[in-house]
Structure formats: C-alpha cells, structure tokens
C-alpha cells in the first residue's frame, strides 16, 4: 500500500530524479533538475475518535474502499490547516453525523510500512441519533460484547478498541502509543 513515487515537480512540472539533495540530506529524495526543488514524501496522519454513549461505542460501516462493508471508528486523513483534534472532530461529523464533545487524546499508532500514523481521541456523544455521510452506510452503537470483531476494517481500529475497553474495565484511561508491523 505504498504511495507511488513522485514523478514530476509540483513547482514547474519537470520530471524529477531521485538522488541525494545538495543540502547534505542523507536520504534520496525527488529532486527537480530544472528548479532544484526537493520534494519530501512524509507519513500521512489518520485522525479519529472513539465516540461513547453510555456503555456503547459508535462504529461506522464503510461505504467506500478500502474495506467496503467493514466496521471502523470514525476517522480519516487529516487535512491541511487543521489541528489533529479538529481533523478528528471533522471526520466524526462527516462519517457519523454525530453530535459530541471532544475528549482527551487516547492513542497514537505507527504503521511505518504504509507511511501512516493513526491518532484517536475520546469523544462523548450528546445524542444516540446519527446522520452519516456518503462514506458510511450505517452508524451504530455497540457494547463491547456486540462489537463485530471479525468485521473490523483496520487492525489499528481493533487494537485501539481493545485498549479502550481494557482501560474502561480497569476504571481509568491511559494514553497509548504502539506500533503495528
């Protein structure tokens, strides 16, 4: 699931070459031979929430690929000009149409092999009524025992939910940092 390499300069359109930049960088980068622009390829941030209503969490059934028809927490790619928390809130509104209050930070998950970092926040639902957007075919509340574990779209979501429910059983929430290899 690696992104395709950069082929053309975003500034002038010239075909780039992969080489060490002249600035002492130690990694090969896409460098424009015409205007000398160095193009960096960096990880993408996926941001979302763990929305809670009583003893239930809100999951969204995906209406898009990848993992069409599978369940996930409301989350997606962070946009430019927004904070991590703003992006997580936006994704929750877009995917679930939920009314909620943002809570504190919960987890950071590194997935280096696909160049992504997933970040999740607590969210307190203000209503059990949802108006999901086009990316979601269904938004539904689940107790821990009702979660369709075999139908969870992404390993990051499954691992985040497991840590959330374990923390809730323990009676206190921690901040989690982990890698998926």
H or E element that contains 89: helix 84-96
pLDDT value of position 5: 86
Q: What is the largest CA-CA distance in the chain?
A: 60
pLDDT value of position 1: 45
pLDDT value of position 22: 86
Tens-digit pLDDT profile for the chain (181 aa)? Answer: 456 689 999 999 999 999 999 888 999 999 999 999 999 989 999 999 999 999 999 999 999 999 999 999 999 999 999 999 999 999 999 999 999 999 999 999 999 999 999 999 999 999 999 999 999 999 999 999 999 999 999 999 999 999 999 999 999 999 999 999 9
pLDDT value of position 2: 56
pLDDT value of position 101: 98
Tokens of 43: 């990880």
- The model carries a pTM of 0.89
Beta strand segments in the chain, E: 17-19, 29-31, 38-39, 44-53, 56-62, 71-72, 75-77, 100-111, 116-125, 136-142, 176-179
User: Kindly report the CA angle at 145 between 144 and 149, in degrees rounded to 5?
Assistant: 80
pLDDT value of position 3: 64
Q: What domains, with CATH codes, occur in the chain?
A: 1-41 (2.20.70.10), 44-179 (3.90.79.10)
């Amino acid at each position: 699931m690696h992104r395709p390499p950069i082929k053309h300069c975003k500034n002038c359109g010239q075909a780039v070459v992969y080489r060490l930049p002249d600035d002492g960088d130690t990694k090969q980068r896409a460098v424009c031979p015409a205007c000398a622009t160095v193009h960096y390829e960096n990880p993408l941030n996926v941001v979302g929430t763990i929305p809670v209503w009583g003893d239930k969490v809100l999951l969204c059934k995906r209406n898009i690929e990848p993992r069409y028809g599978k369940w996930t927490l409301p989350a997606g790619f962070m946009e430019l000009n927004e904070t991590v928390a703003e992006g997580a809130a936006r994704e929750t509104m877009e995917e679930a149409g939920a009314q909620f209050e943002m809570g504190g930070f919960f987890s950071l998950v590194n997935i280096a092999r696909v160049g992504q970092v997933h970040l999740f926040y607590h969210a307190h639902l203000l209503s059990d009524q949802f108006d999901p957007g086009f990316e979601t075919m269904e938004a539904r509340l689940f107790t821990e025992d009702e979660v369709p574990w075999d139908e969870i779209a992404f390993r990051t979501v499954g691992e985040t939910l497991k840590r959330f429910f374990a923390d809730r059983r323990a009676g206190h929430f921690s901040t989690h940092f982990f890698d998926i290899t």
